[in-house]
Amino acid sequence: MLERARRRTKTAADSHDVVARRPKLDAWQQLGSDPDECEQSINRMFDTRVGTIEFDSMWDFDYSHTNRSGFTETAYSSMSFRIARDLAAMDNRESELLRATYLLYNANLIDLQAWRDLTFCFVYGDGKAAIVSCDYREPIQLPFRDWQGAIEYYANCNQVSVESAVSKLRGIIERHAQMPDVPPVVELLLSRRLQEQLSAIPECADDS
């Protein structure tokens, strides 16, 4: 019998400005009433670099491990989490790639799932994001013991990272740039020298 889910939740600081910045459709509506208005809001958001972008998700997964008796146990589990990243704290490369992700979705050049996948990678930043909340069911001992470990496990199981997102985004940009009629948003991104960001060597993390 599954034991009761262990709940681990806290509330983010109220000072975070997260209006219309969570990657969900209801929040997206707040960016504007049409694509042109949304594009202006997106560029304003990333130009000023004021506020916080949040990402939240729910994930179901199966986990197997060998118990003390030597038998393999498999159990259904699930987690939900919310992470946040201050725009002002993001390095220029990740900020511009996240801007590109938002603009491509606004132009209907990537679908909802691609937008969410890419947004997670750039907001999480391979561990740079703040974890606002995290809940998970623990029917058996899971391979992580805290919130940070839970998000790392999610990222590893889904094989996502900043560089995997960069590779995916590069492919999307290059594919559309080779079309006979290049979409205006792709021309805009290329004019912003996005290729330099896509090709740039990531900065070393600050260990201090």
Of 19-23, 31-35, 110-114, the range with the lowest mean pLDDT is 19-23
**Rounded (10°) angle between helices 92-106 and 112-124:** 170
Q: pLDDT tens digits for 62-89? A: 877 677 777 787 878 889 999 999 999 9
* Residue 4 confidence (pLDDT) above 50: no
Q: SS3 for 135? A: strand
| Selected residue with higher pLDDT from 149 and 26 | 149
What is the pLDDT confidence band of residue 27, given thresholds at 50, 70 and 90? Answer: low
Q: What's the mean pLDDT when you consider all of the chain? A: 80
pLDDT for residue 29: 76
pLDDT for residue 28: 75
Average pLDDT of span 159-176: 92
| Selected residue with higher pLDDT from 51 and 168 | 168
pLDDT for residue 197: 65
Of 34-38, 76-80, 128-132, 137-141, the range with the lowest mean pLDDT is 137-141
Percent share of the chain, pLDDT over 70: 78
CA-only gyration radius of the chain, Å: 19
What is the pLDDT confidence band of residue 15, given thresholds at 50, 70 and 90? Answer: very low
pLDDT for residue 198: 67
- DSSP letter assigned to residue 140: S
pLDDT for residue 73: 76
Domain limits, the chain? 25-196
| Selected residue with higher pLDDT from 194 and 162 | 162
Q: Which residue has the tokens 């992470």?
A: 83
Q: Do the Cβ atoms of 134 and 152 come closer than 8 Å?
A: no
Reading the block at residue 208, the tokens are 């201090």
The C-alpha atoms of residue 51 and residue 13 are separated, in whole angstroms, by 12
What is the pLDDT confidence band of residue 5, given thresholds at 50, 70 and 90? Answer: very low
pLDDT for residue 171: 92
What is the pLDDT confidence band of residue 161, given thresholds at 50, 70 and 90? Answer: very high
Percent share of the chain, pLDDT over 90: 50
Return the ∠ at Cα 63 (arms to 61 and 65), rounded to 5°: 175
